[in-house]
Amino acid sequence: MSRVPDGGAPAGAVLPPGLPRLQAGSHLGPEDGACLMEYVSVLTGARFSDRPRCTDPTVAALARLVNDCCSDAGRPQLAVLAPVLAATPRSDAAATPAVVQAAVRAACTAVGATPTLRGHLRRAEQRLQTVTGTGRRAGLARRLDWLYRRGPARRSLEVSVRALTELTEDQRDAVLVAMLAAALGAGCVADGHDAPVTPPVVV
């Protein structure tokens, strides 16, 4: 996976001209604009989709949430993470709760560790311990990663992003970029790669 230096942009990343404008929601084609994951699909030359195979599903789910929560003014900042998103294919079962933990922790840093956020963080930590363990329970948990990803993990990501709505627009945009960068880093570590350096959370 590409490294992300302090400013949040992938090292050596050069975004080609002619890419669609980032917008909220889904789109029929790039001529109508694109969400961040649709943008990634265009960047890689894949079929136009907000679920390109080049990106881990949990990271992609967070990217879609972050894209839609960003303001129109702040959303272009997400484009610098597109090359990294384009090089994060499906990881093992440990990456899913690691990505969730990173998102919840970013929300806790930005708005405080509310009881709800603490609960989601605790469950993600327990899930990571389970899937990285040994024995029948660990094996079953790894096989059922798809179920965790579509249920509890998705809900935790939604709660984490929704928690940022109390911030000002500029603060929220900065935290969202940092949250996604941190999740990319956490997914790398869980998958055995070097962690990107994430930008600081600005609140």
DSSP string, 24-38: SS--SSGGG-B-HHH
Q: Is residue 121 part of a domain?
A: yes
Q: Is residue 138 part of a domain?
A: yes
pLDDT at 5: 37
Q: Is residue 57 part of a domain?
A: no
pLDDT at 15: 54
Q: Is residue 88 part of a domain?
A: no
Using CA atoms of 143, 148, 149, 152 in order, give the dihedral in degrees to the nearest 10: -170
Q: Go through 185-198 and write b for each residue having 16 or more CB atoms within 10 A of its CB, e for each that does not.
A: bbbbebbeeebbeb
Q: Is residue 185 part of a domain?
A: yes
119 pLDDT above the threshold of 60:
yes
State phi, psi for 16 to the nearest 5 degrees: -70, 155
Mean pLDDT rounded to a whole number for the chain: 85
Residues 6+ apart with CB under 8 A from 136: none
- Segment 95-122 mean pLDDT: 97
For the chain, the domain total comes to 1
pLDDT at 191: 58
Q: Is residue 29 part of a domain?
A: no
Paired with 88 in beta bridges are 55
pLDDT at 95: 94
Q: How far apart are CA 145 and CA 56, in angstroms?
A: 12
Task: List the domain range (segments joined by +) for residue 165.
Answer: 95-190
Q: Is residue 51 part of a domain?
A: no
Q: Is residue 148 part of a domain?
A: yes
Paired with 34 in beta bridges are 22
pTM, whole model, 2 decimals?
0.84
pLDDT at 17: 60
